[in-house]
Amino acid sequence: LHEIDSVSSFAVDSVNLQKQIDELSSFSDSPAPSVTRILYSENDVLARRFIKKLMKEAGLSVREDAVGNIFGQWEGSEPDLSAVSTGSHIDAIPYSGKYDGVVGVLGAIEAINVLKRSGFKPKRSLEVIMFTSEEPTRYGISCLGSRLLAGSVTLATALKQTVDNQNISFMEAAKSAGYAENNDFSTVFLGDKRYAAFVELHIEQGPILENEGISIGIVTAIAAPASIKVDFGGNGGHAGAALMPQRNDAGLAAAELALAVEKHVLESGSIDTVGTVGILELHPGAINSIPSKAHMEIDTRDIDEKRRNNVIEKIHESAVMISKRRGVELLGFRIVNQDPPALSNELVIEAMESATQVLNLSSKKMISRAYHDSLFMARKAPMGMIFIPCYKGYSHKPEEYASPGDVENGVKVLALTLAKLSSN
């Protein structure tokens, strides 16, 4: 039995899946309902253990690579063919929610359970992947695990010198979590023929599906993300004694640049351009001290790479201009990453669409404005993404929510898509 005969045999254990989502959210550095799970922290290690346990319970054979990407494999009847893979991440930025990424990991394991229970046997092997550090929280690098899988030599090298803001090296942190044994991250790189396809299930993180009452989003492209770190430096000084004309306040330079980011983004001419200053830190950070240093981290994205790069250029021009006008030093303007967008593969899109039709679920083709590990997996395999609605489009905050029914729909579409791709 290689093919799915009838989806009527598809049974998602929604109650148990919700239990798993709730249990996973308890591995957090911040109090519920918020979730904070930082790469290689104690809670991250506990959460990883939980995922490996669930993979094993689903009958998958579990393997981890040097950065902690976790793979659970269900061997197909033709194991020499490229496998079909699915997955997402479980790390969570500070004070965020419990669905981002998680739905695509726990949902993938449940999709395997659904297929097993239905009596399905895969032709190509199926693999569930939990990617390491999709979020850039600790080391400033987004999609760390999938970037490495995609073969980033630069990143494999850079990681040996990378430290977090507590000055803990990536190497040391990875080793403390049980990884990086051989000090060689190039072992993570995927071979070109490893995967025949990659599919990721994820909450939309936007309001469109909910607003339009549609069950499934079929992602055709992922917006091009970039992130920038900016540092300004001034003389600082006493907030009472230094008169205004004597000042070169690094904090005010940062405030101006934050507003300039918003201005350049709004002037791009497209609703698809976004830009955010999520981090702005002042030094020394005392009420009676003029800021002598300001550190900012800027995120900007677009589905049009050129338009986004043009915004980056304008942000840079503003930073230079502000620093000159204010007599503040522009200590750094570093583009940390400037990734191109990714397109979904036509065959994967077809498989997802036909799955929604067979399951009788409404669907809509859409763009992913958030980036995902799929952005990098697209470099190594035909890629597709399945979106489900989430409450008010909220994400990256405790109010993030997807209903059990919507999660169930997503798991079914994923299961059927995997079955189809496995049989190709």
The residues in 97-156 that bind Mn ion, with binding defined as CB under 5 A, are 100-101
Which span (94-102, 326-334, 338-346, 358-366) binds Mn ion, by CB under 5 A? 94-102
In the complex, least distance from residue 358 CB atom to Mn ion, rounded to whole angstroms:
27
241 binding partner (options a second copy, Mn ion, none; Cβ < 5 to 8 Å by kind): a second copy
The residue at minimum Cβ distance from Mn ion is: 101
Neighbours of 174 (CB within 10 A): 21
Displacement of CA 15 from its chain's centroid (Å): 26
65 binding partner (options Mn ion, a second copy, none; Cβ < 5 to 8 Å by kind): none
In the complex, least distance from residue 231 CB atom to a second copy, rounded to whole angstroms:
14
Select from 158, 145, 130, 100 the least CA-distant residue to 336.
158
In the complex, least distance from residue 277 CB atom to a second copy, rounded to whole angstroms:
6
94 binding partner (options a second copy, Mn ion, none; Cβ < 5 to 8 Å by kind): a second copy
Q: Which residues contact 174 (CB under 8 A, 6 or more apart)?
A: 40, 66, 67, 68, 180
152 binding partner (options a second copy, Mn ion, none; Cβ < 5 to 8 Å by kind): none
Nearer to Mn ion, 76 or 225 (CB): 225
Instruction: DSSP for 216-239, please give it.
Output: EEEEEEE-EEEEEEEEEE----BT
Q: Could you give the CA distance from residue 375 to residue 304 in angstroms, rounded to a whole number?
A: 14
Q: Which residues contact 243 (CB under 8 A, 6 or more apart)?
A: none
Nearer to a second copy, 291 or 410 (CB): 291
Nearer to a second copy, 95 or 401 (CB): 95
In the complex, least distance from residue 48 CB atom to a second copy, rounded to whole angstroms:
21
101 binding partner (options a second copy, Mn ion, none; Cβ < 5 to 8 Å by kind): Mn ion
Euclidean distance between the first and the last CA atom of the chain, given in angstroms as a whole number: 14
Q: Which residues contact 286 (CB under 8 A, 6 or more apart)?
A: none
Task: Name the helix (H) or strand (E) containing 419.
Answer: helix 404-423
Number of residues that bind Mn ion (CB under 5 A): 2
Select from 107, 99, 114, 102 the least CA-distant residue to 12.
114
Q: Could you give the C-alpha distances from 358 to 6, 29, 125, 184, in angstroms and in order?
A: 9, 42, 23, 45
In the complex, least distance from residue 370 CB atom to Mn ion, rounded to whole angstroms:
7
In the complex, least distance from residue 127 CB atom to a second copy, rounded to whole angstroms:
26
188 binding partner (options Mn ion, a second copy, none; Cβ < 5 to 8 Å by kind): none
Task: Name the helix (H) or strand (E) containing 71.
Answer: strand 70-74
Nearer to a second copy, 10 or 394 (CB): 394
In the complex, least distance from residue 76 CB atom to Mn ion, rounded to whole angstroms:
28
Nearer to a second copy, 72 or 236 (CB): 236
Residues making contact with Mn ion (CB under 5 A): 100-101
